[in-house]
Amino acid sequence: MRKSIKGIFSVVLLLGFVQGIFAQDMDLLKLAEDKAPRKEIVKNAFKSTRVINGHSMEFLSPGTMDFRILHRFGEVNHGYSNFYGLDQASMRMGFDFGILQNLMVGVGRSTYKKELDGFIKFAPIRQSTGTKSFPATIALVAGMTMNTSPWPDTTIKNFTTSRLAYYFQAIIGRKFSNAITLQITPTLVHNNIVPLASQSNNIYALGFGGRIKFSKRMAFTWDYFYVANPLDKELYHNPLSVGIDIETGGHVFQLHFSNSTGMNERAFITETTGDWAKGEVRFGFNLSRVFQLTKKKVTLY
C-alpha cells in the first residue's frame, strides 16, 4: 500500500516538473517572439505619389482620394511683356484613389491638347524593415491618354484609336534615410499614330528622381527623363524639373521649374520643347489634398 502511494506521488511530482519545464519553454518562446521585429513597410519616401512630373514610389492609403491640381505657366524668358510667363497657363486636374496598400488608380484631364488620362499603379514588392524585409520598392505603372482636341482635318476619315497613347513604367526606388530618397524609372511610351512614317511609335526613356529633406516640412525634389529616341532631336528635349515640397497639414504644396508644358507621361516625355540652356523654363505649382473616404483599417504584417 505504501509503495503504491509512493509511486503515485512520484508520478505527480514528475508530471508537475515536466509541466513546469514546458511552461518555462513556452514563456521563453513567447518572449523571443515579442522581441523579434515585425515587418513594417517603409513610407514617406516622398510626400506625394508624384515626384514632380513622374510617378513616385509612394502609394495612397486604402480608402483615400488625392485631389491634385497641377499648374504650369509660360516660359520665363518671355520677359516683362508676358510677365515672365505668368500671363499664360496650362493645367491638369486629377483624382487618384488608394485601393490597397500597394495598389492605386487615377484619372485626369489636361488643358494641353485637352487630353484625358488614366493609370493603374501596383507594387509587387515594397521596401520594408523587420522580418522578411526588402531594401527597395518595385512598382509597375500602366496608363493611357486620349487627345480630345478638334481634328485638324475633318475632310478625311479620322479614327478615335489614332488619338490614343499608352505608357508602361517600372519604378525602382529606395528611401536611404529620413532625408534622402532616390528612384529610377524605365519607361515605354507607345503612340498609336505619329506625324511621320519615319518616326517610331515606341519611345524609350529612363527616368531619375529624388528627394532631399532639409526640414520637418520642406524638401528639395527633382525628376529627369532621358529620352533615347525622341520623335525629333531638334525640336524635343529631355524633361527636367526641380522643385520645393512644402507640407502644410493636409496639403502638399510644391513650387517648381520645368521645361515641359504637358503634365502626363505621353506629353512631357515625348513632347517637351523647352530648352533649359535657352531659358525656356516654366514656373509652376502642384497642389495635393488627400481625403479619407472610408474608415481606416489597421494592417499587421
What is the pLDDT, as a whole number, of residue 298? 53
CA angle 61, 64, 66 (to 5 degrees): 105
What is the pLDDT, as a whole number, of residue 24? 53
**42-292 carries CATH number 2.40.160.40:** yes
* pTM of the model as a whole: 0.83
* C-beta of residue 208 within 8 angstroms of C-beta of residue 172: no
- pLDDT tens-place string over residues 243-281: 999 988 778 899 999 999 999 999 999 999 999 999 899
Chain centroid to Cα 208, Å, comes to 12
What is the pLDDT, as a whole number, of residue 88? 80
- pLDDT tens-place string over residues 175-209: 999 999 999 999 999 999 888 888 899 999 999 99
Q: What 3-state class would DSSP assign to 252?
A: strand
DSSP one-letter string for 207-221:
EEEEEEE-SSSEEEE
Q: Are strands 251-258 and 240-248 parallel, antiparallel or unpaired?
A: antiparallel
In angstroms, the CA 215 to CA 109 distance is 33
- pLDDT tens-place string over residues 101-153: 999 999 999 999 999 999 999 999 999 998 888 999 999 999 999 999 888 77
- Can you tell me the mean pLDDT for 213-221? 93
In angstroms, the CA 138 to CA 48 distance is 17
Nearest to 52, CA basis, from 189, 223, 214: 223
Read off the C-alpha cell for 210. Answer: 529624388
What is the pLDDT, as a whole number, of residue 154? 75
What is the pLDDT, as a whole number, of residue 15? 42
Look up cell 485637352; give the residue: 114
In angstroms, the CA 142 to CA 162 distance is 19
Q: What 3-state class would DSSP assign to 4?
A: helix
- pLDDT tens-place string over residues 42-67: 989 999 999 999 999 999 999 999 99
Host H or E run for residue 123: strand 115-125
How many CB atoms lie under 10 A from the CB of residue 110? 25
CA distance to 99, 132, 210, 247, 299, per residue, from 61 (Å): 7, 22, 21, 17, 11
